[in-house]
Amino acid sequence: MKPEQLAEALETAASQLGVKVRYETLAAAGPAGGGGLCKVKGDWFIIIDKKTATSERVSILGEALATMDTEHLFLPPKVREMLAQKRASARKALS
């Protein structure tokens, strides 16, 4: 899958989970990254800097969605594989 297709599939999955994806101008994205998952007044958001490259958008979306239960969603195999890898990496980092 092309990065644009991955981003679109991840955005669709986020929407199905009730997570809003917003692209904003972030003042100082810097080394901390170009966005991430947050909860505002009970609603989940993935906020991503507008200037972030598509491949980085895919990474940010994937990391955020890897923290959620996506088993009940239809996801293309490539997306499901990416989320599984991100979950495994997160578990490895915690141990």
User: Total domain count for the chain?
Assistant: 1
Q: Which residues have CB under 8 Å from 41's CB, separation 6+? A: none
43-92: pLDDT as tens digits = 999 999 998 999 999 999 999 999 999 999 999 999 999 999 999 998 88
Domain containing 46 — which CATH number? 3.30.2010
7-20: pLDDT as tens digits = 999 999 999 999 99
Phi, psi of 81 (to 5 degrees): -65, -45
Task: State pTM to two decimals.
Answer: 0.89
Question: Which domain covers residue 11, as residue numbers?
Answer: 3-94
Closest Cα partner for 86 from 73, 44, 68?
68
CB atoms within 10 A of CB 76: 15
The C-alpha angle with vertex 71 and arms to 23 and 75, in degrees rounded to 5, equals 55
